[in-house]
Chain A
Amino acid sequence: MGEADISSQPVAAPAVELVGITKRFPGVVANRDIHLSVAKGQIHAIVGENGAGKSTLMKILYGMLRPDEGVISVDGTKVSFHSPADAIAAGIGMVHQHFMLADNLTVLENVILGSEPRKNGVAIDFAAARRKIREISDAYGLGVDPDVLVEDLGVGTRQRVEILKVLYRGARILILDEPTAVLVPHEVDELFENLKELVREGLTVIFISHHLDEVLKVADAITVIRRGTTVATVDPGSVTARRLAELMVGSELPSPETRESTVTDVVALSVRGLTVRSPDGRPVVDDVSFDVRKGEVLGIAGVEGNGQAELVEAIMGMRASTGAILLEGQDISHWPTLKRREAGVAFIPEDRHRHGLLLESPLWENRILGHQTKRPNVKGPWIDRAGARRDTQRIVEVYDVRTPGIEVDAAALSGGNQQKLIVGREMSGDPVFLIAAHPTRGVDVGAQAAIWDHLRRARAEGLAVLLISADLDELIGLSDTLKVILRGRLVADVDPASVTPEELGSAMTGAGEAA
């Protein structure tokens, strides 16, 4: 490790400085050699796609995880956090994405919960607490009334209560984890006003997001994190959304480009008027229609959380939906998941640990998963252990899964090798249609190139692919057709041959219309 290069250090000691932070986990992208310097009195944004390592970094900063290597300094003093309590003591507070408030208590009670002021060491001093909350609320323009019940508050106000809670505990440095994810646009604007007020009063805000437009609007400095490491710190005044997107997804990575078209005119999968509703009746996928032809990769671009996951689950039959889904002309919209899979729908899930693997089972059993009615895995009602093992060995060799053997548990493999096993599994048995959701997320460069190769080859052999990705280069490079999803609707068609990541990026955020 050694000393970090601190060429761009400001004159005053930074509020927070991370040097060479490394944290390793099995099977996932770790934080690796993180360098971050946050100046006092600034809003510092940290951007990166999901799974890039933002959460790990924040957990380290807030004392929930301990780094394997590296140094954390607060106000120029080296610190070592063993728990969030240490971080709070050092003046660092965290506002979580999901609020941690008790609905049936008042704002006052929620704020003081766990750090109640005592009168004579026994009774709770409500008057003092109320005074202090009013002071903080007025000082930073939060406009919070201490005596209302939390259940009567809107989302934006609840968030301000969370901020107040942190300030009440004496935080000078606030970490906000994806604070805009739960807010509607005007609440976002209010939040940004509050944040600006906070830094005017000398506080420091660390703001985590993957919404580029928001970040450009509010931040004083932006650090980009990709694949577990900090790749750049830029000034929002001198950077474009396009450049930021490039930094986030890494345009210098090997290009997934495929130009000679293999698209046929045979429709493999046809979706008409597909609608998925959330439990409260709101449409999360709204009247979506598209066709995927044999030999075609249809890319769906969009900021995460705009209905992609629900769309995929609806097509897989894992989630109730209305509308029609036709596979090779046959209506499969009322089929159970198993029947869809048997008919040739293959699925590379977005979250492989949750949907794609049995982590504590051997590789050959993972080979069977999702294909438990097909040869060579089974013979009638019986598992064909020899057949499954043989075919797993084949996948390991063809797809270059690096493993000591097929008897090891899936958990022992690195993320890239787990993903190659899944790709190999889903490609076997001649699928008609493949859903590839973030197929190279959290995967190392070598595995990424290999997975792209396999997708291209399968496409050339006539496979229809629905590609969901947050990696713009992957989308532009692999797709024959590209559609943009926003708030559950397909809002734009773009030509992957001519579109730039910048145009795509602005289409995704709904800021402008492309093509």
Chain B
Amino acid sequence: MTTTTGPKDTFLNRLLGRIPLTGWLALAAPVAAVVFAGLVTALVLLVTGNPPVETLTTMVEYGTQPRTMVLTLNSATMYYISAIAVALGFRMNLFNIGVDGQYRLAAILAAAVGGSAVLPGFALTVLVIVVAMAVGAAWAAIAGILKATRGVSEVISTIMLNTIASSIVAYLLVNVVGVRRDNNIGTRPIPEDSWVPGVALVPGTQAKVFGLIFLAIALGIGFHVLLNRTRFGFDLRTTGANREAAIASGVNVKRMVVIAMVISGAVAGLAGMPQLLGASYSYSLDFPAGLGFNGIAIALLGRNNPIGVAIGALLWGFLDNSATILDLQEVPPEIVQIMQGVIVLSVVIGYELAHRYRIAAEQRKVSRELAAPAAVEGAKA
């Protein structure tokens, strides 16, 4: 309460005070979840007859080598972009499950434009990126418009659009933009002067980090600014937090749904760009798949917060890349997938527990306040 009433600096108040509690819990929940996941993994390792401590130590040792760190950063760059796209939707309670289809469709069309070399040098790079964003946005817009006009759940429509995107990508690859290269088939490679060069961020290795890691960082900053500093972001968060109140406050919720899906799709379109412009230069049969689904897990892990998502993406990248060394050690690399699954599950449960704990703490606090005026008013007939 204000300066006048209420016990102020008691232990209980500090312990149950909302703001420090929120901050502490927000950190404690995921950390506890990762630790818990580590324990479950250790148990699985033990049951399958592998030494848990050595295995995990090897993973960490391998993961901290400069070259592996580069690989981790590169994987994390793509995961991060994908997760930011998912998080944008999540912040207004839109479940964009379709990031996977959006980025693949965007990547193949962008790669085709790049391979056609209609512009020279950097201009082509920019064109490729713009095409990717436009395609991702357009594909996501279908789900947004369906939801706004017909009330179709975006979960259903984006899942279906993923399947449709797969078929379109396969058709385009085989029949339209693809060029056979022995048993592989891919788009014409993007000319070298339009590649995005890697940067030597990690000392001790020649391996380069994707140049587009800076695009990912910029997206994270942009995401934060958009959500927290702009009117649009306020409307978006309001719609997510309380749809009815958003309508009453004058937000055009239907338009917000479409715009949010479009932005989410545009970001999703970028998810494949680091790989396309920084490593493979062509969309072929072995272009990485499943970025979108990893993005969902990472967005959950990072609570849709740009810093949290970054940590989640790095963790995912690390786990993915250190799986290789496990295979070499005769430890089934699937252990990493178990670990990822357990982390997501325990993080979701952890956040839920933290949330309930917070509500309970708040109820106790308010109850104390209600108890005071109760004595004053007690008119009975």
Size of the B side of the interface (Cβ < 8 Å), in residues, is 40
Residue of A nearest to B379 (CB): A231
Contact with A along B225-250 (1 / 0, CB 8 A): 00011111111011001101101111
Interface centre among B228, B233, B250, B252 (most CB of A within 10 A): B250
Contact B250 A24 (CB under 8 A): no
Interface centre among B234, B241, B249 (most CB of A within 10 A): B249
- Contact A337:B250 (CB < 8 A) given known A229-B378, A412-B365: yes
Contact B371 A24 (CB under 8 A): yes
List chain A residues, Cβ under 8 A from B229.
382-383, 385
Contact A349 B231 (CB under 8 A): no
Contact A381 B232 (CB under 8 A): yes
- How many Å from the CB of A289 to the closest CB on chain B? 24
User: What separation, in Å, do the CA atoms of A407 and B373 have in the docked complex?
Assistant: 24
> Which residues of A in the span 371-414 have a Cβ within 8 Å of any Cβ on B?
371-373, 378, 381-383, 385, 402-404, 407-409, 411-412, 414
Contact A25 B249 (CB under 8 A): no
Contact A360 B245 (CB under 8 A): no
List chain A residues, Cβ under 8 A from B228.
383
List chain B residues, Cβ under 8 A from A342.
250
User: Is A368 part of the binding interface, using a Cβ–Cβ cutoff of 8 Å?
Assistant: yes
Please pick, from B5, B18, B231, B362, the residue contacting A378 in the complex, using a CB distance under 8 A.
B231
- How many Å from the CB of B358 to the closest CB on chain A? 10
- How many Å from the CB of A369 to the closest CB on chain B? 5
List chain A residues, Cβ under 8 A from B233.
383
- Contact A381:B230 (CB < 8 A) given known A356-B248, A403-B2: yes
User: Is B328 part of the binding interface, using a Cβ–Cβ cutoff of 8 Å?
Assistant: no
Contact B248 A370 (CB under 8 A): yes
User: What separation, in Å, do the CA atoms of A347 and B381 have in the docked complex?
Assistant: 35
> Which residues of A in the span 19-33 have a Cβ within 8 Å of any Cβ on B?
22, 24-27, 30, 32-33
Contact A26 B362 (CB under 8 A): yes
User: What separation, in Å, do the CA atoms of A383 and B1 have in the docked complex?
Assistant: 27
Residue of B nearest to A316 (CB): B248
Size of the A side of the interface (Cβ < 8 Å), in residues, is 63
Contact B242 A358 (CB under 8 A): yes
Contact B248 A252 (CB under 8 A): no
List chain B residues, Cβ under 8 A from A361.
237, 241
Contact A412 B366 (CB under 8 A): yes
Interface centre among A227, A341, A404 (most CB of B within 10 A): A404
- How many Å from the CB of B248 to the closest CB on chain A? 4
Residue of B nearest to A339 (CB): B250
Contact A26 B230 (CB under 8 A): no
Contact B234 A365 (CB under 8 A): yes
Contact B18 A356 (CB under 8 A): no
- Contact A369:B245 (CB < 8 A) given known A27-B366, A402-B1: yes
Residue of B nearest to A366 (CB): B245
Contact A414 B369 (CB under 8 A): yes
Contact B2 A404 (CB under 8 A): yes
User: Is B251 part of the binding interface, using a Cβ–Cβ cutoff of 8 Å?
Assistant: yes
User: Is A354 part of the binding interface, using a Cβ–Cβ cutoff of 8 Å?
Assistant: yes
List chain B residues, Cβ under 8 A from A461.
none
Contact B252 A338 (CB under 8 A): yes
Contact B367 A24 (CB under 8 A): yes
Interface centre among A247, A340, A383, A385 (most CB of B within 10 A): A383
- How many Å from the CB of A433 to the closest CB on chain B? 15
User: Is B370 part of the binding interface, using a Cβ–Cβ cutoff of 8 Å?
Assistant: yes
Residue of A nearest to B242 (CB): A358
User: What separation, in Å, do the CA atoms of A22 and B370 have in the docked complex?
Assistant: 11
List chain B residues, Cβ under 8 A from A403.
1-2
User: Is B15 part of the binding interface, using a Cβ–Cβ cutoff of 8 Å?
Assistant: no
> Which residues of A in the span 336-352 have a Cβ within 8 Å of any Cβ on B?
336-342, 347, 349
Residue of B nearest to A388 (CB): B234
User: Is A235 part of the binding interface, using a Cβ–Cβ cutoff of 8 Å?
Assistant: no
Interface centre among B242, B371, B373 (most CB of A within 10 A): B242
Contact A407 B235 (CB under 8 A): no
- How many Å from the CB of A237 to the closest CB on chain B? 17
User: What separation, in Å, do the CA atoms of A229 and B369 have in the docked complex?
Assistant: 17
Contact B231 A338 (CB under 8 A): no
User: Is A232 part of the binding interface, using a Cβ–Cβ cutoff of 8 Å?
Assistant: yes
User: What separation, in Å, do the CA atoms of A411 and B5 have in the docked complex?
Assistant: 19
Contact B366 A252 (CB under 8 A): no
List chain A residues, Cβ under 8 A from B365.
26, 412
List chain A residues, Cβ under 8 A from B48.
none
User: Is A250 part of the binding interface, using a Cβ–Cβ cutoff of 8 Å?
Assistant: yes
Residue of A nearest to B377 (CB): A445
User: Is A213 part of the binding interface, using a Cβ–Cβ cutoff of 8 Å?
Assistant: no
Contact A372 B1 (CB under 8 A): no
List chain B residues, Cβ under 8 A from A354.
242, 244-245
Contact B362 A337 (CB under 8 A): no
Contact A404 B247 (CB under 8 A): no
Contact B366 A24 (CB under 8 A): yes
Contact A357 B234 (CB under 8 A): no
Interface centre among A233, A340, A365 (most CB of B within 10 A): A365
List chain A residues, Cβ under 8 A from B250.
336-342, 370, 372-373
Please pick, from B18, B249, B366, B378, the residue contacting A33 in the complex, using a CB distance under 8 A.
B378
- How many Å from the CB of A339 to the closest CB on chain B? 8
Contact A26 B363 (CB under 8 A): yes
27 example contacts (A-B, Cβ-Cβ < 8 A) are as follows: A25-B363, A25-B366, A26-B363, A27-B366, A226-B379, A229-B378, A229-B379, A230-B380, A247-B381, A339-B250, A341-B250, A354-B242, A358-B245, A369-B238, A369-B245, A370-B250, A372-B235, A373-B231, A373-B250, A378-B231, A382-B230, A383-B229, A404-B1, A404-B2, A407-B19, A412-B366, A414-B369
Question: Known contacts A356-B245, A383-B234; can you find 7 more A-B pairs with CB under 8 A?
Answer: A25-B366, A224-B381, A229-B380, A250-B379, A359-B242, A408-B19, A444-B373
Those 6 A-B pairs whose CB atoms lie nearest each other, nearest first: A232-B381, A338-B250, A26-B366, A370-B249, A24-B367, A355-B248
